Chains A and B, each alone.
Chain A
Amino acid sequence: MDFRSLRSLDEVLAALAELGDAACVLAGGTDVMVQLGRGEIAPQTLVHIEHVGELSAISCNGHVRLGATATHSSIAESPAILNSYGSLAAAAASVGGWQTQSVGTIGGNIANASPAADLLPPLLVHGAVVSLSSASGSRTLSIDQLLTGRRSTACAADELIVAVDLEPVGARTADAFVKVGRRSAMEVSIVALAVRLTLDETMTTVTDARIALASCGPMAFRATEAEAALIGTTLDDDALRAAGAALGNRAQLIDDVRATAAYRRRLIPRVLGKAVAECRQTIVNRSESQT
């Protein structure tokens, strides 16, 4: 298998244009190398992008932008992410172990589009916009447009994910990430859920709610029905029950080696309740610390 370790974006895009389907982008390799080892993929050339310096930055000029090769470690430790996008930091800190996080990247997590990709629920609730480049141009897609199915995305063979932009977080808004696995770490999610909640000035009524789930269908998704069930409510039990039910209805659950569909069905409303409670608590805490 050929290997090209490239240093600039232009070189990468040129290589992808030249090789097309025969190329496989290699970032941290934590998915690619496992898939190669299992014989699931057999590309002709690995295009190694880890050393493309311009791709790895996390910047916050007005809004937060993550380069495609930002590693899970750097995301989990970034003050900008920790301050406003705690769910994303928590998701990144839950990917495998330290060894996985020190090389695994956000671009790889998105492009691999696993049904269990942990970064996707936080990216979905934060309205992430993905920038794609190829030798012939650039375009942007919202994260839900990018995801097209189980392990499939709208990213073309000659395209590279270069960056991810996050929607700014307004006042009285907080997020939470809940991941369920059997062990305390090193788990492919049984259920992973992110919530982003905004309360009105009285801190009682929900003005905006965003909910996204992974490991509950062929791909991670945002559950607008469940969101609608919360918006305008005071997060009373009925609202939570309705949201939980709507979330469960959207899920396409299966039995797999990690858990049964029945367990996932039981988990969904419970983790939703937990995440919503966490969001509300964070908003209250923040407002108290301001006053």
Chain B
Amino acid sequence: MMSVSLNINGRDRSVNVDGADTLLDVLREQVGLLGTKEGCVEGECGACTVLIDGAPVDSCIYAAAAAGGRQVTTIEGLARPGDYSPIQQAFIDGGGVQCGFCTPGFIVTLTALLRRNPDPSRDEINNALSGNICRCTGYSQIIEAALLVAAAATSTPTPAGAVAQ
């Protein structure tokens, strides 16, 4: 066992792990963050997606020790309870959630996408989501939620000054 210092949702936290322990197990069993879900432990479903330094990663096949010193963002770190991020709000409003077990993974992946590309096309969204499986919704309402956020972001007038950059 070794001690690793993780930064999870902006807080430093040290955990005791074995080298083979997955980040998913450590988040769920040691840190007590249960919002990140486990669907396969093989990198196939994306239910366990977290952001590591802003990039989406399947935490079920990522060593917790490898995340030492890096910024880990889980579903719990995207907004305060009840204070929904735009993509969370769009899921709520547009039917993007059914059983919800895939939802944290989808929200995390789409958060990464929208940060990189505030105005993604349907194709770009589909591609970004190829590592996330939803068994309930048939995806349409999830994709529309992302498009809605994109549309809202692009229709907001650019603040003065931002143009110069």
> Which residues of A line the B interface, CB within 8 A?
1-3, 5, 26, 29-30, 33-34, 36-37, 45-46, 48, 50, 73, 96-100, 102-103, 184-186
For A30, the chain B residues whose CB sits under 8 A away are 43, 58, 61
Alpha-carbon gap, A46 to B44, bound state (A): 23
Complexed CA–CA distance, A224 and B7 (Å): 52
In the assembly, what is the distance between CA of A37 and CA of B20, in Å?
A: 9
**Given contacts A37-B41, A97-B46, is CB(A103)–CB(B62) below 8 Å?**
yes
Per the bound structure, the CA–CA distance linking A96 and B68 in Å amounts to 25
- By a CB distance below 8 angstroms, the chain B residues around A184 are 130
**Contact assessment for A99 and B66 in the assembled complex, using a CB-CB cutoff below 8 Å:** no
The answer to whether A1 touches B19 (Cβ under 8 A) is: yes
Q: Tell whether, in the assembled complex, residue A29 and residue B19 are in contact, meaning their CB atoms are under 8 Å apart.
A: no
| B115: min CB distance to chain A, Å | 13
Contact of B107 with A by CB under 8 A: no
A1 touches B44 (CB 8 A): no
| Minimal Cβ-Cβ distance residue in B for A104 | B43
Q: Which residue of B lies closest to A101 (CB)?
A: B131
Assess the B42–A37 pair: CB atoms within 8 A. yes
Contact B41–A96 (Cβ < 8 Å): no
By the criterion CB–CB under 8 Å, are A3 and B41 in contact? Answer: no
B20, A99: Cβ atoms closer than 8 Å:
no
Top 8 A-B pairs ranked by shortest CB distance? Answer: A97-B131, A3-B19, A185-B130, A1-B19, A33-B61, A102-B55, A3-B65, A1-B20
Main secondary structure of the interface of B (DSSP, over half): mixed
Q: Pick the contact of B2 from A3, A36, A37, A102 — CB < 8 Å?
A: A3
Q: What are the residues of chain A within 8 A of B43 when measuring CB–CB? A: 30, 34, 96-97, 99-100
Whether the pair A100, B66 counts as a contact (CB closer than 8 A) is no
Most buried by A among B17, B18, B58, B68: B58
- Whether the pair A36, B20 counts as a contact (CB closer than 8 A) is yes
How far does the alpha carbon of A186 sit from the alpha carbon of B130 in the complex, in Å?
7
Closest A residue, CB atoms, query B49: A99
A197 → B minimal CB distance (Å) = 27
| Contact residues, B120-164 vs A (CB, 8 A) | 127-132
Q: Establish whether residues B56 and A98, one from each chain, have CB atoms under 8 Å apart when the complex forms.
A: yes
Write the chain A residue with the least CB distance to B66: A48
* Candidates B49, B58, B63, B128; contact of A26 at CB < 8 Å: B63
Check A46 against B20 for contact (C-beta < 8 Å).
yes
